[in-house]
């Protein structure tokens, strides 16, 4: 018979039948996800990225901008991981872009085409693949 053991956040996992010390080690590992050390060192909305650095940084762009790039420097990654850039406009997720992170200080970016009628406030959330929000940035299309 399999027992379920509660975890933080309302999640459950099957008991592994380990002695108490072994079970405690498993619980500790599961409560400290691999992304726990990830953070965003810096971020910027920009027109482009050259030599892995943002160019034309701004938080307001004209309606005819065509496209906007969101640059992120991720710190604390151990090994190969993924993050998500989630572009949100008017409360709707307009794009979810998976990005690879391959080192402890990794610069990455995504670009979103912007139609002229999409005026207003935009948010980009930097999320883990598990959905945890690491960072949020805002821009405006006028």
CA distance 136 to 114: 19
What percent of the chain has a predicted confidence (pLDDT) above 70? 75
* Average pLDDT of the residues in 120-130: 97
Q: What is the DSSP string of 3-48?
A: PEEE-GGG-EEE-----HHHHHHHHHHHHS-GGGG-EEEEEEEESE
CA distance 137 to 123: 6
The more confident residue out of 79 and 134 is 134
pLDDT of residue 36: 65
**CA-angle at 15, arms to 10 and 17, nearest 5°:** 160
Q: Is the pLDDT of residue 125 over 90?
A: yes
In tens, the pLDDT along 51-83 reads 999 999 999 999 999 999 999 999 999 989 999
CA distance 4 to 15: 6
pLDDT of residue 24: 42
130: which 2 tokens?
Answer: 């598990």
pTM of the model: 0.76
């Amino acid at each position: 018979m399999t027992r379920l053991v509660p975890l933080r956040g309302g999640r459950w996992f099957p008991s592994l039948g380990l002695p108490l010390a072994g079970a405690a080690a498993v619980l500790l590992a599961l409560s400290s996800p691999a992304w726990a050390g990830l953070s965003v060192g810096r971020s910027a909305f920009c027109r482009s990225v050259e030599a892995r650095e943002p160019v034309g940084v701004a938080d307001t762009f004209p309606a005819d901008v065509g496209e906007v790039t969101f640059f992120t420097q991720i710190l604390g990654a151990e090994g190969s991981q993924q993050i998500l850039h989630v572009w949100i406009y008017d409360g709707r997720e307009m794009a979810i872009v998976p990005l690879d992170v391959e080192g402890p200080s990794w610069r990455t970016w995504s670009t979103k085409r912007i139609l002229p009628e999409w005026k207003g406030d935009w948010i980009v959330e930097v999320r883990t693949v598990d959905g945890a929000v690491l960072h949020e940035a805002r821009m405006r299309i006028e």
